[in-house]
């Protein structure tokens, strides 16, 4: 309701796409402080939680506008009050800044470790969720999501501007789009808007931005996501995470146990993971090993050197060790806490111990 | 009054043969109909059907099934279900349950049900099928492995398969109407079939069968209740010995017992005539009737015996006893009857049945023990031998009565009243802790070690499911499950409730739709949310069949099911209060959250009904007692002397209930009323003698001493006899009989003490000026 009061009087007469342009061009400030709206739930740590980030403190986000925060090496999480109770899918922490993003094309920001919040973007009518958010510094960031949803800010989120990256499409779709573009530019834009793949994850490492997404999307950008080069791949399932191991070696994971490796920008190779559980997150551990987690409580420890040592397709000898979380909850991601790992799962925060 | 008495005496004693003949014929007739009596148990009798929660429950029972379900857990004793023998047995149990009469065949669910399916997300979308494929071959290890994988994909571990894979569940809903006969379902027959055809047939050294559900519980209660016959026999024997010890005459022992048994026969016969059966939960009532009959019979033989010893002929003695006891006995029994009838105000079928059964039983005692008994006794030959037995004992007992009569001395009376007041205060404070409802896990009617409760513990331990759930019924406009606003409100409400202490987990169409929506998005939990887009929402909901019990045909009704940690009254109350609080936030003209269905919904309604009935019931019982005392004694002081000890004892009984952790439930609610109804007898008998003397101007002490000499031994004896008989119930196989036994023993003994200790003390204070001096003034010798 508060949100509507803030909208200009003509807001409801303009179409959705026009609104986006309004947002982009007039830079209507959506940010304002709002009182607590999220229900303070005793079971917040057992709710559906979807992402975590750490920078001198841990922040975990999830359904119903749930954001919990804890000191490093502490198990005591406190629920923060947010102005909107939408499902939050991603969090990025930078110093005292916390940005959270999620459904209803929502982005909220706190400049003070979660004490106060502002809504930077909230577009329920768009019917699209953000799936990841990433800040390069405390002013420049991007948020990505479903159907190629891509927004950028250069002022700490005071204004978010839409971008469309047709280069994220696979070659067949690009060919098709170029055909209709020749005939009708507006139909092309409309079609592009619905044909772009979900961008599930963006990762910033070694000055490059990597994207993992739907229909076999693995792409890299040398210029902070302004232009993209999509890797060619003979796979059209979804990727959910991407992890550069070092300057030359990359790992991507995704649907139904998909694990792909790449060396020196060469072709991606499928590695047999011996699981059909969808894999959601891959982390590089301090000891140089990889930790992959996914649905159905899947936990895979990967010995990197064995993984890249050759074309070993036998999962008992390719460096993978599969275990399962006892509760079998879907694990969205993990974070290190007090020398052990905490799983962020569909059933809340759980110690990453397999049965 | 005495005119009527004399008329009745002439009418009856001049036609003794005729009277006996009539009684004989009626008894034979009712004995025949009593032999047709059936044990009769029904689910709906136990619930307050007019309670708003139950109106909601009845309204939607068609769509969502009732609370009357059966859970059969088939367990492999080796701890692993994946073997040929287990799956063959499970299939047999499923089929067997399917064909048991009274089971709703469309709602039999197990691994073998076609509705038990799995879905998994693959690159192209969904893939799925039945958990047990059509070509399943239980002897093939591959087939068993496939089923094991499918079980995991179907996410039914904890519900249809136990967490440790040692058991699998077959569940069924029961019909209310027998489809073969069109009449109400015979729950006890069904319980018998469950025992014989499932456990009897399939439990062996490899497989164990665990059955829970209302029907099984009441079947086990009925089986346990059959022990009552044994207790009945024991009680008759004990009573016979004690009566003989009291009257020293075989014939005088036999007659009151005979008349009391006739009363029971009449009662049971009348029940059948009126079309009732005997519910296992009220099986104690005939026993109670017998006990009350004996207590009045003892008064009768006491009076006759005393008359004979005093030199009257047996016929005259019987006539005199009839004349003297008809009024106090009649008043006492009438107040019992009215007291039990007051239970009719409670809108729970089983309590109403109890009210009818008990009040009818007590009413017939008026005929059998106040009319038939003296008539029969008039034929008995009590020779000199009998008189000799009692001669010389008068003095000894007089010393005893003199000692007791000192209760009505002024100083003693004051201290007794003070002590009573203190006890009352303590009892009152303790009784405020009275809990409503069942206080313990499992079926409260049965002992914790009973097979049924052990099965309950096993199932709640090995599965994530519980039989303790309450459904909040969301009523809204048709097709509302496609409305984001409605679904979102349900989802938010559900989350609020899940956070209430005592709620373990929750499910609704909204929460399932979220999971399905994630499924449509490659199983990505970041999409586990309600889609705003109507088409997408429809797509998600269309995968949830109405057989899931989460929506009705046009999705205008959707339950939110709350699984609870237990069914303790305070837990239920907390959850119900939370529903009432939170729903105001979400309700509008098109959307309401109605309480309640599910087993705990029924309990919530029952608890509320019981709690609401408690005060009116006490008011009516005491109102009836007070009114009858006022009518018969025509004295406020006499009435107070009877009622005050009675009330103190009923408060102490409530205190005892809290100490023994007996909650106020459908089965314990009537105990206080029964106790008051029976307890009043003592006071009425004592005071009927006393008030006559007091009206003549005697002192309280001498009036009381007279009453003791005349009635004291009978009162003392009755209290002890009843208490001994009822206390044998402590050994019952049924917990609720044990509870009732303890409470009734307490009420019988303490009411008796109240009548002979507290009553005279109060009377002494109420007639404060009636000191011993009055006797001298009136020339009365006490």
Q: Is residue A290 a part of any domain in this protein?
A: yes
Would an 8 Å CB–CB cutoff place B123 in contact with chain A?
A: yes
Mean pLDDT (whole number) for A261-288: 90
Confidence of residue B508 (pLDDT cuts 50, 70, 90): very high
pLDDT tens column, B201-235? 999 999 999 999 888 888 888 888 777 778 888 88
Tell me: pLDDT of A23 over 90.
Answer: no
Tell me: pLDDT of B195 over 70.
Answer: yes
Mean pLDDT (whole number) for B610-638: 87
CATH code of the domain in which A218 resides:
2.130.10.10
* Interface list for chain A against chain B, based on CB atoms closer than 8 Å: 39, 41-43, 47-48, 50, 63-64, 85, 87, 89, 103-104, 124, 127, 129, 131, 200, 236-238, 240, 255-256, 276, 278, 280, 295-296, 328, 330, 332, 346
pLDDT tens column, B390-422? 766 666 677 888 888 888 888 888 999 999 999
Q: Is residue A321 a part of any domain in this protein?
A: yes
pLDDT tens column, B109-147? 899 988 788 877 666 566 678 899 888 998 999 999 999
pLDDT score, position A9: 36
Q: What is the DSSP letter of B436?
A: B
Shared domain for A142 and A268, answered yes or no, is no
pLDDT tens column, B668-689? 888 888 788 778 888 888 888 8
- The answer to whether the Cβ–Cβ distance between A48 and B525 falls below 8 Å is yes
Shared domain for B408 and B378, answered yes or no, is no
- The answer to whether the Cβ–Cβ distance between B522 and A64 falls below 8 Å is no
Nearest to B477 by CA among B489, B463, B469, B493: B489
Instruction: Compute the count of residue pairs across chains A and B with CB atoms less than 8 Å apart.
Output: 64
- The answer to whether the Cβ–Cβ distance between A240 and B529 falls below 8 Å is no
B87: distance to nearest CA of chain A, Å? 25
pLDDT score, position A201: 96
Shared domain for B213 and B304, answered yes or no, is no
Chain A contact set for B495 (CB, 8 A): 39, 41, 47, 64
Mean pLDDT (whole number) for B76-84: 93
Shared domain for A145 and A53, answered yes or no, is yes
Tell me: pLDDT of B368 over 80.
Answer: yes
The count of domains in chain A is 2
The residue from A127, A158, A189 where one domain ends is A158
- The answer to whether the Cβ–Cβ distance between B123 and A346 falls below 8 Å is no
Chain A contact set for B122 (CB, 8 A): 256
- The answer to whether the Cβ–Cβ distance between B529 and A238 falls below 8 Å is no
pLDDT tens column, B12-55? 899 999 999 999 999 999 999 998 888 777 777 888 888 999 98
- The answer to whether the Cβ–Cβ distance between B495 and A87 falls below 8 Å is no
Higher pLDDT, A134 or B6: A134
Shared domain for A109 and A206, answered yes or no, is no
* ipTM, two decimals: 0.89
Q: Are B782 and B773 in contact (CB under 8 A)?
A: no
Q: What is the DSSP letter of B730?
A: G
Shared domain for A8 and A119, answered yes or no, is yes
Mean pLDDT (whole number) for B339-347: 81
Shared domain for B150 and B192, answered yes or no, is yes
Q: Is residue A44 a part of any domain in this protein?
A: yes
Chain A contact set for B526 (CB, 8 A): 50, 87, 89, 129, 131, 200, 332
pLDDT score, position A52: 96
Shared domain for A152 and A260, answered yes or no, is no
Tell me: pLDDT of A30 over 90.
Answer: no
Chain B contact set for A200 (CB, 8 A): 524, 526
Shared domain for A127 and A218, answered yes or no, is no
Tell me: pLDDT of B498 over 70.
Answer: yes
Would an 8 Å CB–CB cutoff place B180 in contact with chain A?
A: no
pLDDT score, position A311: 60
pLDDT score, position B422: 95
Instruction: Report the chain B residue with the minimal C-alpha distance to residue A50.
Output: B526
Q: Is residue B369 a part of any domain in this protein?
A: yes
pLDDT score, position B125: 62
- The answer to whether the Cβ–Cβ distance between A63 and B529 falls below 8 Å is yes
Q: Is residue B643 a part of any domain in this protein?
A: yes
Q: Is residue A283 a part of any domain in this protein?
A: yes
pLDDT score, position B394: 63
Tell me: pLDDT of A194 over 50.
Answer: yes
Q: Is residue A174 a part of any domain in this protein?
A: no
- The answer to whether the Cβ–Cβ distance between B525 and A129 falls below 8 Å is no
The residue from A107, A130, A158 where one domain ends is A158
The residue from B553, B587, B604 where one domain ends is B604
- The answer to whether the Cβ–Cβ distance between B525 and A50 falls below 8 Å is yes
Which of A48, A236, A278 is nearest residue B528 as measured by Cβ atoms?
A48
SS3 A272: coil
CATH code of the domain in which B673 resides:
1.20.1640.10
- The answer to whether the Cβ–Cβ distance between B528 and A280 falls below 8 Å is no
| Beta-sheet strands, E only, within B453-599 | 469-476, 503-507, 557-564, 591-597
A321: distance to nearest CA of chain B, Å? 20
The residue from B559, B581, B604 where one domain ends is B604
The residue from B223, B253, B280 where one domain ends is B223
- The answer to whether the Cβ–Cβ distance between B522 and A346 falls below 8 Å is no
Q: Is residue B174 a part of any domain in this protein?
A: yes
Which of A64, A240, A255 is nearest residue B495 as measured by Cβ atoms?
A64
Cα–Cα distance measured from residue A143 to residue B416, given in angstroms and rounded to the nearest whole number: 84
Cα–Cα distance measured from residue B679 to residue A6, given in angstroms and rounded to the nearest whole number: 75
SS3 A351: strand
pLDDT score, position A144: 96
- The answer to whether the Cβ–Cβ distance between A278 and B522 falls below 8 Å is yes
Instruction: Report the chain B residue with the minimal C-alpha distance to residue A87.
Output: B529
Would an 8 Å CB–CB cutoff place B488 in contact with chain A?
A: no
Q: Which residues of B73-108 are buried (b: 16+ CB within 10 A; e: fewer)?
A: bbbbeeeebbbeebbebbbbbbebbbebebbbeebb
- The answer to whether the Cβ–Cβ distance between A255 and B522 falls below 8 Å is yes
| Beta-sheet strands, E only, within A206-265 | 208-213, 217-221, 229-230, 239-244, 249-254, 258-263
Tell me which residue range forms the domain holding A7. Answer: 1-158
- The answer to whether the Cβ–Cβ distance between B527 and A129 falls below 8 Å is yes
Instruction: Report the chain A residue with the minimal C-alpha distance to residue B523.
Output: A278
DSSP string, A156-199: TTSS-EE---GGGS-HHHHHHHHHHHHH-HHHHHHHHHHHSPPE
Q: Is residue B237 a part of any domain in this protein?
A: yes
Q: Is residue A172 a part of any domain in this protein?
A: no
B527: distance to nearest CA of chain A, Å? 8
Cα–Cα distance measured from residue B443 to residue A158, given in angstroms and rounded to the nearest whole number: 62
- The answer to whether the Cβ–Cβ distance between B122 and A87 falls below 8 Å is no
Q: Are A328 and A312 in contact (CB under 8 A)?
A: no
Would an 8 Å CB–CB cutoff place B149 in contact with chain A?
A: no
Q: Is residue B173 a part of any domain in this protein?
A: yes
Shared domain for B724 and B685, answered yes or no, is yes
Which of A42, A63, A240 is nearest residue B499 as measured by Cβ atoms?
A42
- The answer to whether the Cβ–Cβ distance between A87 and B528 falls below 8 Å is yes
Shared domain for B219 and B283, answered yes or no, is no
B485: distance to nearest CA of chain A, Å? 13
Nearest to A106 by CA among A43, A58, A34: A34
The count of domains in chain B is 4
Shared domain for B293 and B416, answered yes or no, is no
- The answer to whether the Cβ–Cβ distance between A63 and B122 falls below 8 Å is no
Would an 8 Å CB–CB cutoff place B526 in contact with chain A?
A: yes
Tell me: pLDDT of B629 over 90.
Answer: no
- The answer to whether the Cβ–Cβ distance between B526 and A278 falls below 8 Å is no
Tell me: pLDDT of A348 over 60.
Answer: yes
Shared domain for B57 and B197, answered yes or no, is yes
Shared domain for B547 and B657, answered yes or no, is no
Would an 8 Å CB–CB cutoff place B411 in contact with chain A?
A: no
Q: Is residue A241 a part of any domain in this protein?
A: yes
- The answer to whether the Cβ–Cβ distance between B522 and A39 falls below 8 Å is no
pLDDT score, position A12: 36
Tell me: pLDDT of A180 over 90.
Answer: no
Confidence of residue B713 (pLDDT cuts 50, 70, 90): confident
pLDDT tens column, B291-326? 888 888 988 888 888 888 888 888 999 999 998 888
The residue from A102, A127, A158 where one domain ends is A158
Shared domain for B260 and B232, answered yes or no, is yes
Tell me: pLDDT of B717 over 80.
Answer: yes
The pTM of this model reads: 0.81
Cα–Cα distance measured from residue B581 to residue B602, given in angstroms and rounded to the nearest whole number: 20
Tell me: pLDDT of A158 over 90.
Answer: yes
B135: distance to nearest CA of chain A, Å? 24
- Looking at every residue in chain B, the average pLDDT score rounds to 86
Q: Read off the tokens for B11.
A: 């009418």
pLDDT tens column, A207-262? 999 999 998 999 999 999 999 999 988 888 999 999 999 888 999 999 999 999 99
- The contacts of residue B237 (CB under 8 Å, 6+ apart) are none
Shared domain for A219 and A73, answered yes or no, is no
pLDDT tens column, A284-322? 998 889 999 999 899 999 999 888 886 667 777 788 889
Q: What is the DSSP letter of B527?
A: G
Q: Is residue B327 a part of any domain in this protein?
A: yes
Mean pLDDT (whole number) for B507-522: 89
Chain B contact set for A278 (CB, 8 A): 121, 522-524
Shared domain for B195 and B271, answered yes or no, is no
Which of A216, A240, A255 has the most B C-beta neighbours within 10 Å, making it the best mutation to test the interface with B?
A255
Q: Is residue A184 a part of any domain in this protein?
A: no
Tell me which residue range forms the domain holding B772. Answer: 397-432+635-782
Which of B464, B505, B521, B524 has the most A C-beta neighbours within 10 Å, making it the best mutation to test the interface with A?
B524
Would an 8 Å CB–CB cutoff place B256 in contact with chain A?
A: no
- The answer to whether the Cβ–Cβ distance between B524 and A41 falls below 8 Å is no
Would an 8 Å CB–CB cutoff place B499 in contact with chain A?
A: yes
Shared domain for B245 and B373, answered yes or no, is yes
Q: Is residue B452 a part of any domain in this protein?
A: no
Q: Is residue B365 a part of any domain in this protein?
A: yes
Shared domain for B423 and B385, answered yes or no, is no
- The contacts of residue A243 (CB under 8 Å, 6+ apart) are A203, A250, A251, A252, A253, A282, A283, A284, A290
pLDDT score, position B353: 87
Confidence of residue B364 (pLDDT cuts 50, 70, 90): very high
Cα–Cα distance measured from residue A249 to residue A307, given in angstroms and rounded to the nearest whole number: 11
Sheet containing strand A88-94, strands side by side = A88-94, A97-102, A106-110, A118-121
Shared domain for A91 and A1, answered yes or no, is yes
Which of A127, A256, A332 is nearest residue B532 as measured by Cβ atoms?
A127
Confidence of residue B548 (pLDDT cuts 50, 70, 90): confident
Shared domain for A251 and A320, answered yes or no, is yes
Identify the weakest region by mean pLDDT among A31-40, A107-116, B448-457, B476-485: A31-40
């Amino acid at each position: 309701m508060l949100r509507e009061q803030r909208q200009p009087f003509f807001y409801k007469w303009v179409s959705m796409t026009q609104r986006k342009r309004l947002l982009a061009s007039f830079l209507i400030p959506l940010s304002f402080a709002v009182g607590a709206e999220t229900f303070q739930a005793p079971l917040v740590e057992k709710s559906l939680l979807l992402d975590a980030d750490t920078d001198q403190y841990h922040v975990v986000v999830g359904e119903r506008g749930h954001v919990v925060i804890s000191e490093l090496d502490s198990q005591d999480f406190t629920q923060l009050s947010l102005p909107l109770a939408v499902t939050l899918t991603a969090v990025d922490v930078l110093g005292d800044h916390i940005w959270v993003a999620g459904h209803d094309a929502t982005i909220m920001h706190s400049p003070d470790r979660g004490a106060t919040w502002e809504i930077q973007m909230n577009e329920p009518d768009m019917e699209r969720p953000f799936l990841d958010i990433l800040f390069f510094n405390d002013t420049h960031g991007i948020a990505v999501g479903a159907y190629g949803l891509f927004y950028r800010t250069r002022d700490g989120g005071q204004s978010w501007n839409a971008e469309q990256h047709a280069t994220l499409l696979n070659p067949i779709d690009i060919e098709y789009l170029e055909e209709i573009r020749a005939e009708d530019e507006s139909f092309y834009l409309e079609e592009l808007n619905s044909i772009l793949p979900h961008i599930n994850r963006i990762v910033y490492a070694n000055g490059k931005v990597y994207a993992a997404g739907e229909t076999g999307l693995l792409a890299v950008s040398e210029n902070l996501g302004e232009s993209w080069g999509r890797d060619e791949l003979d796979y059209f399932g979804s990727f959910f995470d991407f992890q550069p191991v070092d300057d030359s070696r990359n790992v991507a994971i995704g649907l139904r146990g998909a694990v792909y490796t790449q060396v020196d920008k060469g072709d991606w190779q499928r590695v047999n993971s011996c699981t059909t559980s969808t894999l959601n997150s891959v982390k590089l551990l301090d000891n140089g090993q990889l930790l992959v987690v996914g649905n159905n409580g899947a936990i895979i420890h990967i010995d990197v050197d064995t993984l890249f040592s050759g074309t070993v397709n036998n999962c008992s000898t390719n460096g993978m060790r599969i275990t399962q979380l006892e509760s079998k909850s879907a694990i969205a991601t993990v974070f290190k806490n007090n020398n052990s790992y905490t799983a962020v799962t569909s059933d809340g925060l759980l110690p990453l111990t397999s049965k | 009054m005495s005119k009527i008495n004399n008329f009745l005496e002439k009418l009856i004693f001049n036609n003794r043969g005729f009277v006996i003949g009539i009684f004989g014929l009626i008894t034979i007739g009712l004995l025949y109909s009593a032999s047709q009596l059936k044990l009769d148990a029904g689910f709906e009798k136990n619930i307050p059907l007019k309670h708003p929660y139950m109106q909601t429950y009845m309204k939607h029972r068609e769509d969502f099934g009732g609370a009357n379900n059966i859970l059969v857990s088939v367990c492999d004793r080796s701890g692993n279900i994946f073997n040929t023998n287990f799956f063959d047995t499970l299939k047999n149990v499923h089929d067997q349950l399917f064909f048991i009469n009274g089971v709703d065949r469309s709602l039999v669910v197990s691994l073998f049900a076609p509705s038990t399916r799995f879905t998994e997300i693959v690159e192209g979308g969904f893939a799925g099928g039945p958990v047990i494929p059509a070509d399943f071959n239980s002897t093939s290890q591959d087939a068993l492995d496939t089923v094991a994988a499918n079980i995991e994909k179907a996410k039914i571990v904890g519900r249809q398969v136990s967490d440790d894979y040692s058991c699998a569940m077959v569940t069924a809903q029961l019909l209310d109407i027998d489809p073969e006969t069109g009449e109400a379902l015979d729950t006890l027959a069904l319980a018998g079939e469950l025992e014989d055809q499932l456990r009897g047939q399939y439990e062996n050294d490899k497989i164990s069968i665990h059955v829970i559900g209302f029907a099984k519980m009441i079947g086990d209660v009925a089986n346990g209740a059959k022990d009552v016959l044994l207790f009945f026999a024991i009680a008759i024997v004990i009573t016979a010995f004690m009566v003989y010890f009291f009257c020293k005459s075989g014939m005088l022992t036999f007659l009151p017992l005979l008349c009391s048994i006739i009363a029971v026969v009449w009662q049971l016969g009348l029940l059948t005539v009126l079309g009732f059966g005997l519910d296992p939960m009220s099986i104690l009532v005939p026993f109670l009737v017998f006990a009350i009959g004996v207590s009045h019979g003892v008064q009768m033989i006491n009076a006759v015996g005393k008359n004979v010893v005093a030199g009257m002929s047996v016929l005259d003695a019987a006539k005199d006893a009839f004349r003297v006891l008809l009024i106090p006995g009649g008043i006492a029994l009438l107040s019992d009857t009215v007291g039990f009838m007051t239970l009719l105000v409670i809108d729970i079928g089983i309590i109403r049945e109890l009210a009818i059964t008990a009040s009818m039983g007590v009413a017939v005692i008026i005929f059998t023990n106040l009319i038939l008994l003296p008539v029969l006794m008039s034929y008995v030959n009590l020779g000199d031998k009998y008189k000799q037995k009692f001669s010389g004992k008068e003095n000894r007992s007089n010393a005893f009565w003199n000692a007791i009569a000192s209760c009505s001395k002024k100083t003693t009376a004051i201290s007794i009243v003070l002590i009573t007041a203190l006890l009352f205060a303590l009892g009152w404070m303790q009784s405020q802790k009275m809990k409503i409802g069942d206080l313990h896990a499992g079926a409260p009617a049965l002992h914790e070690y009973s097979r049924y409760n052990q099965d309950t513990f096993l199932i709640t331990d090995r599965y994530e499911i519980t039989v303790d759930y309450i459904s909040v019924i969301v009523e809204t406009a048709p097709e509302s499950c496609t409305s984001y606003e409605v679904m979102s409100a349900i989802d938010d409400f559900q989350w609020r409730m899940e956070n209430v202490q005592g709620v373990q987990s929750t499910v609704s169409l909204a929460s399932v739709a979220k999971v399905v929506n994630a499924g449509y998005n490659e199983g990505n939990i970041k999409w586990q949310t309600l889609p705003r887009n109507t088409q997408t929402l429809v797509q998600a909901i269309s995968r949830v069949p109405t057989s899931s019990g989460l929506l009705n045909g046009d999705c205008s009704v959707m339950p939110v099911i709350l699984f609870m940690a237990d069914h303790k009254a305070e837990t239920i109350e907390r959850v119900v209060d939370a529903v009432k609080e939170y729903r105001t936030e979400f309700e509008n003209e098109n959307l309401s959250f109605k309480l309640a269905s599910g087993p705990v919904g029924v309990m919530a309604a029952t608890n509320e009904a019981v709690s609401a009935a408690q005060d009116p019931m006490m008011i009516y019982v005491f109102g009836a007692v007070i009114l009858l005392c006022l009518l018969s004694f025509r004295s406020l002081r006499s009435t107070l002397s009877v009622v005050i000890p009675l009330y103190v004892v009923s408060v102490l009984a409530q205190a005892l209930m809290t100490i023994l952790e007996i909650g106020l439930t459908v089965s314990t609610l009537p105990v206080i009323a029964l106790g008051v109804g029976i307890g009043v007898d003592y006071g009425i008998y004592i005071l009927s003698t006393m008030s006559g003397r007091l009206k003549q101007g005697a002192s309280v002490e001498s009036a009381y001493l007279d009453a003791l000499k005349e009635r004291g031994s009978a009162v003392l004896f009755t209290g002890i006899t009843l208490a001994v008989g009822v206390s044998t119930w402590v050994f019952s196989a049924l917990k609720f009989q044990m509870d009732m036994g303890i409470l009734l023993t307490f009420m019988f003994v303490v009411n008796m003490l109240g009548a002979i200790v507290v009553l005279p003390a109060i009377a002494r204070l109420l007639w404060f000026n009636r000191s011993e001096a009055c006797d001298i003034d009136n020339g009365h010798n006490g």
